[in-house]
A and B are shown apart, each in its own frame.
Chain A
């Protein structure tokens, strides 16, 4: 079985600063995979490397196809939806325009996707004319998820979706991610500080530290691991 996304010895740097020192990981089609680790471990950079937002070396394959030097727009066109840190909301544009941008790479009508997305986020339908910047943080995160969904991606990259959100919203968010995975077969790679929630939603996980993968395994294995428990789960 080949993985949908495969990273082999991926290195990345910002100027002279090496951030990733040879990351290897795999995401199976139809699965949810979490990337855990402390601040500065290179979690966000891993996603940025996949999207081509940073210079990277090593091999990244999507569905067997090497991404090589593709930039972010090229990677998006291959079917990767990346919800970046800060959610990537176009705050001056309306909710509808944000959703339309999510489907920017698609041709023709996006009506079926919109209707589908409104079944997950019914409130978006009433607020399609609202300026996106005036949504609350939680609503903006939901909008980001909806925007990624109308893209109909093969792979969704989620960067710290829980950042700045109330716990109850975070739980709701992960519930929807799980639902999108189960109902729509969406493959997700999620970077998350909240290891507890991330491992609940994911089947497998990778732990990064200082630009290396220090641990990987199924969610159950990771939860059972002493160091993960002490460091990330806190018991």
Chain B
């Protein structure tokens, strides 16, 4: 007992804060992992659904991370994040029509997405961001409608099909059939998430971006160009969105202007589940939502895939009621 408390005290002294509810969260996550592991070992259907859930969930996580990046920088939810992702997916489609290979188009699209995100922040968000949160949110809603209109105008509302990036094959792991697509989705999404994380964690630019998001005035005083950091943040969010869009498309089989609308709701749920301010929480939240939805649709016949969306809303509601700070939300430690 005394050893336990002194260990906690020692950690505190080194600047770690131990939230009593953090232990609960860890237990919950470990429990979920054990549940999934046991399930996968006992049933191949369960394993297949889990793999599918993780793949879809990583896409939700990627878009959720985009939402979190913008939220941390501007304290605003970018309602247009999903439509922006859909738009960039159409750009990739167009590039492939013009003869680029899938991965050439992929790389070009990410670059275009970055530029687009930056330009949108500078032209549309910057002029209103100091007025009020509501003004900024309304601009993002307007952007949602605008992008939707532009896409329908340029490409029309009918379904387009894109080549599959990973082929149609599948691995067979001990009787569990895992399509190349799902493996590819997870690898691509998680590596882009890791790259963004490393950028924030290990580079001077990333440090400047974090400082600008946390305390803009103090960041400016040490010479950080806060406005540029916010623009770059939007650019990175758009890149993550583009990855989500490109990886979501093959799992939906067709490309349509509504590609990202349900996914945006799942991403919201994931971001809120993770705690809105927490990048890691967004990704974990995304995977949790993906797996849960897939398993429920797979095992509960009453919940068809059309009922996934209300289910995601229900998750959102429950989190907001029970633990508004989310799984990874941290109350800030500050001494005066």
Contacts and interface: CB of A to CB of B under 8 A. Distances in A.
Interface stretch (B47-55, B149-157, B222-230, B245-253): B222-230
A156 B118 CA distance: 34
Given A101-B207, A135-B335, 8 more contacts: A76-B223, A84-B221, A89-B218, A101-B211, A104-B204, A104-B224, A127-B15, A134-B335
B222 A104 contact: yes
A91 B332 CA distance: 8
A29 to B, nearest CB: 21
A130 B15 contact: yes
Interface stretch (A92-100, A166-174, A184-192, A226-234): A92-100
Nearest to B218: A88
A89 B335 CA distance: 11
B15 A104 contact: no
Given A84-B218, A129-B15, A93 B211 contact: yes
Interface in A53-97: 53, 71-73, 76-77, 81-82, 84, 88-94, 97
Contact of B217 (A72, A100, A136): A72
Contacts of A77: 223
B96 interface: no
Interface centre among A76, A82, A84, A89 (most CB of B within 10 A): A76
A93 B17 CA distance: 13
B217 A84 contact: yes
Contacts of A24: none
B284 to A, nearest CB: 19
Contacts of A135: 335
B281 to A, nearest CB: 15
B180 interface: no
Contacts of B219: 90, 101
B220 A76 contact: yes
Interface of B: 12, 14-17, 204, 207-208, 210-211, 214-215, 217-226, 332-336
A133 B224 contact: no
A133 B223 contact: no
Given A90-B214, A129-B15, A131-B15, A102 B336 contact: no
B7 to A, nearest CB: 17
Interface in A109-165: 127, 129-131, 133-137, 140, 147, 151, 164
Contacts of A71: 220
A128 to B, nearest CB: 10
A208 B220 CA distance: 27
A34 B208 CA distance: 31
18 contacts: A73-B221, A73-B223, A81-B222, A84-B217, A84-B218, A88-B215, A88-B217, A88-B218, A90-B211, A91-B334, A101-B207, A101-B208, A102-B222, A104-B204, A104-B208, A104-B222, A104-B224, A105-B223
Contacts of B215: 88, 90
B220 A133 contact: no
Contact of A134 (B211, B214, B333): B333
Contacts of B214: 90, 92-93
A94 B201 CA distance: 12
B208 A90 contact: no
B224 A130 contact: no
A219 interface: no
B211 A130 contact: no
B335 A90 contact: no
Contact of A105 (B210, B222, B333, B335): B222
A51 interface: yes
Given A104-B208, A133-B333, A90 B218 contact: yes
Contacts of A92: 214, 332
B111 to A, nearest CB: 26
Given A97-B207, A134-B333, A135-B335, A88 B221 contact: yes
B328 to A, nearest CB: 14
A144 to B, nearest CB: 10
Contacts of A84: 217-218, 221
A101 B333 CA distance: 20
A164 B336 contact: yes
A89 to B, nearest CB: 8
Contacts of B336: 137, 164
A45 B208 CA distance: 25
A156 B15 CA distance: 29
Given A84-B217, A134-B17, A73 B334 contact: no
Contact of B14 (A93, A129, A133, A136): A129
A175 B211 CA distance: 30
Given A76-B223, A77-B223, A133 B210 contact: no
B226 A73 contact: yes
A135 B334 CA distance: 8
A81 B218 CA distance: 11
Contacts of B16: 131
